[in-house]
Every structure is written in structure tokens, then in C-alpha cells.
Amino acid sequence: MYNKLQEVEDRYNEISEKLYQPDIVADQDVFTQLMREHKTLEPIVEKWRECKRANERIEEAKSILADSTADREFKDMAQEDMDDAKEQLETINEELKVLLLPRDPNDDKNVIVEIRGGAGGEEAALFSAALYRMYSMYADTKGWKTEIINSNETELGGFKEVSFMISGDGAYSRFKFESGVHRVQRVPETESQGRIHTSTVTVAVLPEAEDVEVEINPADLQIDTFRASGAGGQHINKTESAIRITHIPTGIVVECQDERSQFKNKDKAMKLLRSKILEGEREKQNKEIAADRRAQVGTGDRSERIRTYNYPQSRVTDHRIGLTLYKLEAILNGDLDEVIDALIMADRAEKLKASSEE
């Protein structure tokens, strides 16, 4: 492990020098790429340098303890320092194992979230709106921007479906475990008998694809325009500004009608299309690499029931890791960190276990 860490530090130092070279600074694409790599390597290098300092303390203490001319008090101090450094080193080594785990290259990206009402009709649509609100409020706590790409509202204020982008550093790393089926148990607002119903909502989370990652041939696109409409089919736009794009080779269809400008709608729709194409390729790779799938808590399987929101008990349960929290209202108001942190820790534990078995 130490040899690998030294290679990481050497690469970090090499990038640090390059970032001051005029030709690198002038090439924005190369400069941005190196800055990202530099930022990724920095926490590993800092921890590795802590590791080296702890090892140096141990070696210094050993030399004092081996010195026959050193007095007892000095040796006692050296022994105490060595014991402290060994304890610190043990913690550092465990932290380094986590830092050296293969990193998801999408973690720093913006994220596109799609929420669709499943079983439950209007009740599912209303809960789709509740989840959209939850994710928007969570993004606000992080200082991230939320922007709707496309939405299909119901007359009662729910969403049959809604797609939106969350822009911010590390957004995907925090949202990637949200893909799957979210189940709600409550007395519906549309139910007069007071019976508890179970409805489902499907969430899909996609990292935003950059232009260089997905090359799209314009000849492969069928682009249609239509009038944007609101709940109940009422026209909210007299011009045909809404955009529907069909990617003929994959059959992927995306729509955007949130903006009044056809150009802005097309731009948003293309972002969604690139991300969907990239996600399709990623899913294909995941199926081919069985070991990677075993080392995941669950990211991307839209048919997997991942969480239940029980209103009568004020309970939220994440079924993947067996986590139950009795703070439904706080979570629906965007207090998601406890759930997301637990999922990240569980994912790391699974990957550490998998790497130790290899």
C-alpha cells in the first residue's frame, strides 16, 4: 500500500508543478482536468504525509530506546511518544484504505433526477411532489441550484413526472443512492374513509454527461416541437416552445417544456438526453462487472424498493441497510444527511470487504 501511496504523492507533486506552467494555464480543458485530479488526490496525499510523520516518530523513539546512554526519563518519554504514534498510525492506515478505494468518477458532477408516480394514481403524484420538495430543500442546505427540466403536473398539485437538475460540487456523490422505488404509507388527501394506503414513486438519478463524454450525431435525432401545457391540459404557452427529442439508435425520448424559449428547452433536453445515453452505457458495464455490483449498496436499479415513508408512525426506513429513523417530517423537509451518510458508510464497508477478499 505504501508504494502505491508514494506514487500518488509523486503524481500530485507533478500536477502541482504543471498548474503553474503558462501553456497549461492557457489550455482551459487541460487545466480544468488537472485541477480536478489535483483536488481528488489532495486528501490522500495529506493523509499519506501524516502517515509518514507518524512512522518517523516511531523510528526516532526506537533509536532513543536503543541508546544505552539515554536516561530513564528520556526513554519513558520516547516510549510514550512511540505508543501514541503507533495508535495514530493504526487509525491513519484504516483511513487510507478507504481513501484508496476506487472512486466513482461521476461523484463531483451535477445530477439529473427523474421522479415518476407509480402505483397509487393521484396519491403517487402528490408524493412525487413531496419528494421533489424534499430534494430541492436538501439542495438548498448545500447551496446547490435546482432547475426543473420537464414536469407533468396534476390538477391537485402533484407530479405524474418531474425531471430536474441539481448543480453543485459533489451533487452526484450525495444523490446517487436515491435511485429506486420509494414507498409511502399514509391516509391519502383524496381518501375520506381514513384508511392507510400504500403508493409508490420511482426515482432515477443520472450524473450530468459532459459534451466530450457522449458524442451525438445530429442525423440520429428526431426533434419535434409542441405547445407546453399545464395541469388538465390547459395551454400555458401559445407558441410551440416545448421540445421532444428522440434518439433514434437507442429509442430514448426526452421532453422539455419548462422554459418559454424553444432554444432553452432544446438545450435542457439535450443535457437530459446525453445523461440518459451515458447512464445506459454505465448500466451495461455494471452488468458485465459482477464484482462491482456486489460491492454496491444499490445505485441505479429502478425496480428495487429502497425506502418506505410511513406517515402514521412518522417513520422512514431504508431497506438496503436496515436503517429506521423516526423523523419523517424533518427528512421530508430536506434533512437527509443522516440517511445519506449511513448509505455512504455502508457502501464503503462493502467495497472494503470486497477489496480484502480479492
For residue 98, give every residue at least 6 positions away whose Cβ sits within 8 Å of its Cβ, in sequence order, or none.
348, 352
Q: Is the pLDDT of residue 289 over 80?
A: no
State the average pLDDT over residues 175-204.
Answer: 86
| Closest among 53, 60, 172 to 109, alpha carbons compared | 172
User: What separation in angstroms does the CA of 37 have from each of 12, 25, 29, 109, 277?
Assistant: 8, 15, 13, 14, 25
Contact 164, 156 (CB under 8 A): no
Instruction: Please report, for the chain, the start and end positions of each structural domain, with discontinuous segments joined by +.
Output: 2-99, 111-350
Q: pLDDT-derived band of residue 95, with 50, 70 and 90 as boundaries?
A: confident
The DSSP secondary-structure symbol of 102 reads P
> How far, in Å, CA of 124 to CA of 160, rounded?
8
310 or 350: which leads in pLDDT = 310
Q: How many CA atoms lie within 13 A of 15 on its CB side?
A: 20
How high is the pLDDT of residue 229? 63
Q: Which of 117-131, 166-180, 246-260, 295-309 has the lowest mean pLDDT?
A: 295-309
| Closest among 35, 282, 250 to 176, alpha carbons compared | 282
The answer to whether the predicted template modeling score (pTM) of the entire model surpasses 0.75 is no
> How far, in Å, CA of 35 to CA of 38, rounded?
5
Cα–Cα–Cα angle for 129, 339, 171, nearest 5°? 70
* Cα–chain center distance at 273: 19
Q: pLDDT-derived band of residue 267, with 50, 70 and 90 as boundaries?
A: confident
Q: What is the pLDDT of residues 3-12, one digit of tens each?
A: 888 988 999 9
> How far, in Å, CA of 213 to CA of 206, rounded?
14
Q: Is 38 exposed, middle or buried (0-12, 13-18, 19+ CB in 10 A)?
A: middle
User: Class assignment of domain 111-350?
Assistant: alpha beta
Q: What are phi and psi of 242, to 5 degrees?
A: -75, 145
Q: Is the pLDDT of residue 357 over 80?
A: no
What are the residue ranges of helices labelled H in the chain? 2-18, 22-26, 28-65, 72-99, 122-142, 171-175, 262-288, 290-294, 328-332, 337-357
Contact 135, 166 (CB under 8 A): yes
Q: How many CB atoms lie within 10 A of CB 202?
A: 19
For residue 50, give every residue at least 6 positions away whose Cβ sits within 8 Å of its Cβ, in sequence order, or none.
88, 92
Q: Is the pLDDT of residue 56 over 70?
A: yes
| Residue given cell 392507510 in the structure block | 196
Q: pLDDT-derived band of residue 325, with 50, 70 and 90 as boundaries?
A: very high
Q: Is the pLDDT of residue 221 over 70?
A: yes
For residue 276, give every residue at least 6 positions away whose Cβ sits within 8 Å of its Cβ, in sequence order, or none.
206, 252, 254
Strand partners, 200: 183
Q: Is the pLDDT of residue 15 over 60?
A: yes
State percent of the chain over pLDDT 90.
41
Q: Is the pLDDT of residue 234 over 50?
A: no
> How far, in Å, CA of 92 to CA of 302, rounded?
37
| Arithmetic mean of pLDDT over the chain | 84
DSSP 3-state assignment of 68? coil
207 or 211: which leads in pLDDT = 207
Contact 238, 133 (CB under 8 A): no
Contact 342, 331 (CB under 8 A): no
> How far, in Å, CA of 69 to CA of 316, rounded?
65
